[in-house]
Amino acid sequence: MGRRLHGGDGAVNETPWKSIAFAPPEGASQLRRFFSGDIRENEIPFFYHGVGRHTPENYALVKKILEGECGADKNEYDGITFASGMSAIWMFLLSVCAPGKAVIYSGKIYGCTFVACYELLPDLGIPTYRVDNPGDEKAWREAAEKAISDGHDVGCLFGETPSNPLTDCFLIRMLASIAREFNAVSAIDNTIMTHALQRPFLWGIDAVVISASKGLNGSSTDLGGILLAKKEIFEEMSSRKFFHTMRPVMSPSTAGCLLQHLPYLEVAMKRHSENARILSLYLMTEENFVEKVYYPSALYPCGGEILRDQMNGCGGPLLSFEINGGLEKAEAFVDALQHSATMVHICDHRYTLVNCSGATTHADMDEETQRAVGIKSNLIRVSPSAEDEKTFREYLIRDFRQAFEKVF
């Protein structure tokens, strides 16, 4: 005779083993209801992790992040965990825009997201339209109007602010407003800032995607993604059954690890951001070696709405710069650094992470497309560590200086 896993009140009883499948207290009829989508008030659908629902760990992670993203309004939203940030983006775009609704997307986004929008979604019958200057309100409207003139409904307006790697920013409320005009869903990739530094829902956005392996993780040890959205949108997305059939789910153990890091997120992200600001100021003094520095506090007015209000006065944990010379000089500089790790990742609290974006995170884009969106061969992306300011200045600034001197 098998053990009962749950008491009549739904509480999990002590068992000598764990399972990703849920035994509902009311038995087979309740399980049938869950699979049909009939989930009643106060019922938590921990029924089978593989179909995209939640185990207790995953459910707890979503609820905790919603508290950070939405505050008191968290009950208006829902969420789901995924195996990676890109799987969250894919599931969102497929669910919102299939069949045949257009995606209007910023050209200043992470490389894999760009390839998905530029090449792969059109191959699947989902039309896409690019906005190369995401800060231009007129450009978003023109792209949406072009989609309509081509005979398509607009399904989604999708952007990333600040962008990876050029840290382009735009007003989130602008994107939300334009999406409402075209009866479309607005979405922001908030991976770089996380809710510790920027909260898109407070600016009217409908959906937020996050690569949980970055700031939410803090040490580059776990891979995951989060999708959060207004409940009515999430219900419509779920009805398309992509979640149930493709199953790119996050493991419960990963959710548990991310939960353990969340209490330290705000302190770590603010330290990352401050170190990025310090490094950007130093790089702007190295005019003999550096052509241009990309960082929000260098690109946008400190008293303006974007930096002051939307980003809560923080420039974020990522910056980039163009070194004098081409890819050869850029790679030589990266190799000359002694206290940084060469990685295609961001927000590791232990290490400063450096790479050449054109040859790594955006390598799937051809050279012409890279140039069109501002990715040059001499571009170096940096994600500073979360070390204290004294240590950061003593080791990292000195390390960058010796690397410049070695290369030049």
Q: Are 120 and 111 in contact (CB under 8 A)?
A: no
Alpha-carbon span 351 to 281, nearest angstrom: 19
Alpha-carbon span 280 to 366, nearest angstrom: 28
Is pTM beyond 0.75? Reply is yes
Domains (range + CATH), the chain: 28-262 (3.40.640.10), 265-407 (3.90.1150.10)
**Rg (the chain; Cα; Å):** 22
Task: Read off the DSSP letter of residue 5.
Answer: S
Write down the pLDDT at residue 235. 82
Alpha-carbon span 120 to 94, nearest angstrom: 11
Spell out the long-range contacts of 149-153 with Cβ–Cβ below 8 A and sequence spacing 24 or more: 150/102, 152/100, 152/101, 152/102, 152/127, 153/100, 153/101, 153/102, 153/183
- Report the SS3 class of residue 63: helix
Q: Is the model more confident about 253 or about 220? A: 253
- Report the SS3 class of residue 325: coil
Average pLDDT of the chain, as a whole number: 87
Judge residue 18's burial from the number of C-beta atoms within 10 Å of its C-beta, 0-12 exposed, 13-18 middle, 19 or more buried.
exposed
Q: Are 403 and 289 in contact (CB under 8 A)?
A: no
Least confident of 3-17, 179-193, 393-407: 3-17
Of all residues in the chain, what percent carry a pLDDT higher than 70? 90
Question: What Cα–Cα distance (Å) separates residue 18 from each residue in 42, 171, 288?
Answer: 23, 46, 60
Of all residues in the chain, what percent carry a pLDDT higher than 90? 59
Per residue in 286-321, pLDDT (tens digit) is 999 999 999 998 878 776 899 999 999 999 999 999
Work out the angle at residue 187's Cα, subtended by the Cα atoms of residues 65 and 87, and round it to the nearest 5 degrees: 70
Write down the pLDDT at residue 2. 38
Write down the pLDDT at residue 49. 61
Region 77-87 average pLDDT: 91
Per residue in 21-35, pLDDT (tens digit) is 666 777 778 777 776
Task: Read off the DSSP letter of residue 140.
Answer: H
Q: Is the model more confident about 165 or about 28? A: 165
Q: Are 80 and 231 in contact (CB under 8 A)?
A: no
Other Cβ atoms less than 10 A from the Cβ of 74: the count is: 19
